[in-house]
Structure 1
Amino acid sequence: MQNEGLEYEKELVYLTCERNWVFYTLMTVAGFFGAYTYLLRGNVFCNAQTGNVVLMGLALGAGHWSKALYYLIPISAYLFGAFVSELLPNLVKHNFLIRWDTLLIAIEILAVLVLGFIPDSYPVQISQIMINFIASMQYNTFRQAEGVPMATTFATNHIRQIGVGLAKELKHLKTKNKSHRERLSKHSKMLVFFIAGAVIGTVFCNIFSGRAIWVTVIPFAVVFGVLLHADLTVEKEFMEKKPLGH
């Protein structure tokens, strides 16, 4: 067993929670969330906060003070998600023998189950704030896919990185330097998976309305099962190893 552990350690460049397929899966779910909140929960995108900050500025500029104060709620939920996800990792792995990354996926599954039970007639802010919170924790937790910085909740940076990669492709067209292609490929795939998630989300939201969110339990459950297995078996001895970017 000790020899097996040593062999695995030699091969353990990246933890399971850093694997590309995990990021692609979470990105697909993020696209689904985008479709869900836009179509059914107030025509907004809750995976990031740029829109809410702009809307708060517009409200302040127009003198709509109460409306401006409202936007502090989703912004604060997002801020609190980052705060919590920064404090809990060490506490979780030292007391529950699993990684924070694994526990977070379980929390997201629970949140999704609750969201599906919320009637469409209820205030959309309930769903918005819950997704603000879990999206922030996910963004702050899953940071690098096999050494490449990635965002798993929105597409803006991936679009930028694709542009950068295409520019490098042009600059190195007549050289043998193709080191940029790995990043270009990853960012392109992340964008494709995000779009795929939005397409799937649109289809299911139109069919099942608010309960469509339960579809995301399936990819979340797959990720959770694999991460939990890694924590309790092959990566049990490497609990102190931090994912890159942390």
Structure 2
Amino acid sequence: MEESARPYVLVCERIWLYRTLTAVAGFFGAFTYLLRGNVFCNAQTGNVVLMGMALGSGQWWHALYYLIPISAYIGGAFLSEILPTPVKRHLPMRWETMLIAIEIAAVLFLGLLPESAPVQISQVTINFIASMQYNTFRQSEGVSMATTFATNHIRQIGVGLAHELRRLRTGNTAHRKKLLTHFEILLFFFAGTVVGTVACNTISGSAILLTLLPLGIIFARLLHADLTTEKALLEKKPAGH
């Protein structure tokens, strides 16, 4: 198919953006685990398990604590569902652009917190922005993806390898783009974690400020598209919504 015949892909759906967001999420995972309480805040399965374990052990107040990060995650998903339309109606930008601005503000806030601040502040903040990001960036160039954790990409790699085995019989290679995309995104998450670990071990809590560079690049590119090349497409919903 010729380039001109391909459907237009919004900037907020392009693969480079998903790679970058996923690497930042890997960085956040290293940051919260190494420096903010030995927890992963990008998803909530662990908190639900820990809450159940605390209840099963009769630690009632300890169990109730987990309602805080879980509620923050619910709140992030809730806001990311109701805010896109008002943002587009009152501002010359997409919700995706506004979300990256919120993430930049959150990173600045966390990076400037003193090391003596309660770790729960960082945990809940990242719970909140990770939830909004997960619910907002859902599909890139025809492939459904999660930008905040690795489990789905690992599963999809397994599925893709099964299709690769079937290819020996059918000759069908339609699955390969999806397989390679998930493998690539997993590598970016891994790379973000490696960089985050080195940074956290070197400059401690201020390491999170390093993510301002990739987030700033994403914000600038999205805002430019909203104000120029995609100004007439602000009402177009990204795929997956």
User: Is residue 2:50 matched to residue 1:55?
Assistant: yes
Give the fraction of aligned pairs with identical amino acids, expressed as a percent.
67
Distance 2:138 2:24 in 1: 16
Within a 5 Å distance, the mapping from 1:190-205 to structure 2 comes to: 190-205=185-200
Distance 1:191 1:58 in 2: 30
Match of 1:35 in 2: 30
Q: What is the number of residues matched between the two proteins?
A: 238
Partner of 1:217: 212
Change (3 A) 1:234 1:199: same
Report the Cα offset of residue 119 of structure 1: 1.4
- SS of the residue corresponding to residue 215 of structure 1 reads helix
Which residue of the other structure, out of 51, 58, 66, is the alignment partner of 2:61? Answer: 66
Which residue of 124, 134, 141 maps to 1:139? 134
Identify if the C-alpha distance between structure 1 residues 29 and 210 changes in structure 2 by more than 3 Å, giving closer, same or farther: same
> Separation in 1 of the partners of 2:126 and 2:7?
33
**Deviation (angstroms), 1:176:** 2.7
Q: Which runs of 4+ in 1 moved over 6 A?
A: none
Q: Distance in 2 between matches of 1:118 and 1:10?
A: 50
Given residue 196 of structure 2, which amino acid in structure 1 is its aligned partner? G
Say if 2:125 is the partner of 1:130: yes
1:153 to 115, 124, 148: 148
- Structure 1 unaligned regions, length at least 5: 1-8
Alignment match, 2:202: 207
My pick for the range that moved more, 172-181 or 138-147, is 172-181
| Equivalent position of 1:83 in the other structure | 78
1:106-185 to 2 correspondences below 5 Å: 106-185=101-180
Residue identity in the other structure for 2:131: S
**CA positional deviation for 1:14:** 1.8
In structure 2, the partner of 1:234 is 229
Q: CA RMSD in A?
A: 1.1
CA distance in structure 1 between the aligned counterparts of 2:218 and 2:70, rounded to whole angstroms:
28
* Unaligned runs of at least 5 residues, structure 2: none
Q: Which moved more, 1:11-20 or 1:24-33?
A: 11-20
Say if 2:14 is the partner of 1:14. Answer: no
TM-score (norm 2): 0.97
